[in-house]
Amino acid sequence: MNQEVTVVMYHYVRDLKYSRYPEIKGLDVDLFKGQLEFLAKHYNFITMEQMVDAIEKQITLPKNAVLLTFDDAYIDHFNAVFPILYNKGIQGSFFTPVRAVTEHVMLDVNKIHFILASQNDKSKIITRIYQLLDQYRKEYTLESNRYYYDKLATSTRFDTEEVVFIKRLLQVELQEDIRNLICSELFKYFVQFDETVFSRELYLNIDQIKCMCKNGMHIGAHGFDHYWLGSLSRDKQEIEIDKSLNFIKSIGGDIKYASICYPYGNYNQDTLELLEKYNFKIGFTTKVEVADLSKHRPLEIPRLDTNDLPKYA
Ligand SMILES: [Zn+2]
C-alpha cells in the first residue's frame, strides 16, 4: 500500500525575462511547464482531498503520488500557474496569508525580498539597518548591532551570511512593532514604491482566489500576518489560525479539508494543539523529504522545493 507522496513547494512562478525585479528568485514559467511534463511522465498528480482521505480513511494513493503546493498568494499563481493547471486537470494547493489579500499591505517577508533585490551590495542594506537600530535603540531597548550580527549571521543552503542576518533580524528577532517599522523604512528607502500599489501588483485578490477555488483548486491557510507561529504566544497563534480558517470559509473553501502551511516552516506544540482544536486535517512544513503517511504525522508533512526536482525548458 503506497503511503508516499512527493509534495512540491513553489513560490514565485513568473516570466523572468520580463520581470521588473530579475533578482527575485522565481521559477520561470517555461521551466515550470517543463517540470510539469517531467512530473506527468514519472508521477501521478493527486488532490488535497485524496491526501486527507488517505490519512483519515486509509484510502490507498496511486504510486509515485505528487501534490503541488504554492505559498504566499502571489498574483503569479493566477496569471501563470492556474491556467496551466486548469487546462491539464491538475489541482494546485494555494496557501494564502490573509492580510496581504484583504488589506493590500505588503507582508514583511516580501518587503524583505524586494529590499534585498534592490541592492547588489547587501552591506549597504546592513549599513542602513545599523543606522535605524542606532536611531531606535533607546526607545525600543534594543541590543547592540554587533550582538544581533553575531547571533543571527550564519549561511544556509540558499543564503549568504549577510542575507540570513537581514532576514532573521527582520522576520523574527526584533519585536513586532520595531520590526515592522524598520521594514517599512527600508522599503521606502531602497524600493521607493508605494506599498499599496505594490501589494495590489504582487498578491492575488479575493475574486481571483474565489475563482480558483470554484474551479477545483485547493485554498489553504498560511496565517494572517505571515509570522513565525512558533514565536507567538498561544493566544496570538489562535487568532492567526481562527482568522485563516474564517477566510477559507469566506472564499468558499471546504473546511472539511482544512489545511495549513506554516509560514517559514515554523511552528511549535501550541500550534499543533490549536490546529487539532480547529479541526485542521493536514499541515505542511519546509522539512525537505518525500512525505510518508505511515511515518510523518498529518500536521507535519515535509515537502521538496521545486529546485530539488528536475526542470526543463
Ligand atoms: Zn510564506
Could you tell me the domains of the chain? 4-104+203-308 (3.20.20.370), 110-198 (no CATH)
Cα 195 to averaged position of ligand 1 atoms, centre (Å): 18
Cα 158 to averaged position of ligand 1 atoms, centre (Å): 16
Q: Work out the average pLDDT over 62-86.
A: 97
The span from the CA of 66 to the CA of 32, in Å, is 15
Cα 129 to averaged position of ligand 1 atoms, centre (Å): 23
The span from the CA of 130 to the CA of 189, in Å, is 14
What is this structure's pTM? 0.92
pLDDT of residue 153: 96
pLDDT at residue 311 is higher than 90: no
pLDDT of residue 66: 98
Cα 168 to averaged position of ligand 1 atoms, centre (Å): 14
pLDDT band at 141 (very low <50, low <70, confident <90, very high): very high
DSSP reduced 3-state for 14? strand
DSSP reduced 3-state for 221? strand
> Alpha helix locations (H) across the chain?
29-42, 48-56, 76, 82-88, 98-103, 108-118, 122-136, 145-152, 161-168, 176-186, 195-202, 206-214, 234-250, 269-277
Cα 177 to averaged position of ligand 1 atoms, centre (Å): 20
Cα 226 to averaged position of ligand 1 atoms, centre (Å): 6
pLDDT band at 312 (very low <50, low <70, confident <90, very high): confident
pLDDT of residue 313: 66
Q: Work out the average pLDDT over 143-172.
A: 95
The span from the CA of 36 to the CA of 301, in Å, is 22
The span from the CA of 154 to the CA of 149, in Å, is 9
**Total number of residues shown for the chain:** 313
Cα 123 to averaged position of ligand 1 atoms, centre (Å): 25
* In contact, 282 and 270? CB cutoff 8 Å: no
Task: Please give the C-alpha separations between residue 223 and each of 148, 173, 229, 247, in angstroms, as whole numbers.
Answer: 27, 19, 8, 10
Cα 139 to averaged position of ligand 1 atoms, centre (Å): 30
Cα 285 to averaged position of ligand 1 atoms, centre (Å): 11
pLDDT band at 84 (very low <50, low <70, confident <90, very high): very high
For the stretch 23-53, pLDDT in tens is 777 899 999 999 999 999 999 999 999 999 9
pLDDT of residue 17: 77
Cα 97 to averaged position of ligand 1 atoms, centre (Å): 7
Look over the chain and give the mean of its residue pLDDT values, rounded to a whole number. Answer: 95
Strand duo 291-292 + 4-10: pairing: antiparallel
Cα 215 to averaged position of ligand 1 atoms, centre (Å): 23
For the stretch 255-277, pLDDT in tens is 999 999 999 999 999 999 999 99
The span from the CA of 61 to the CA of 59, in Å, is 6
Cα 262 to averaged position of ligand 1 atoms, centre (Å): 7
Nearest CA among 153, 115, 109, 108 for reference residue 11: 109
Q: Work out the average pLDDT over 70-77.
A: 96
Cα 222 to averaged position of ligand 1 atoms, centre (Å): 7
The span from the CA of 126 to the CA of 134, in Å, is 12
Cα 282 to averaged position of ligand 1 atoms, centre (Å): 16
Cα 313 to averaged position of ligand 1 atoms, centre (Å): 26
pLDDT at residue 58 is higher than 90: no
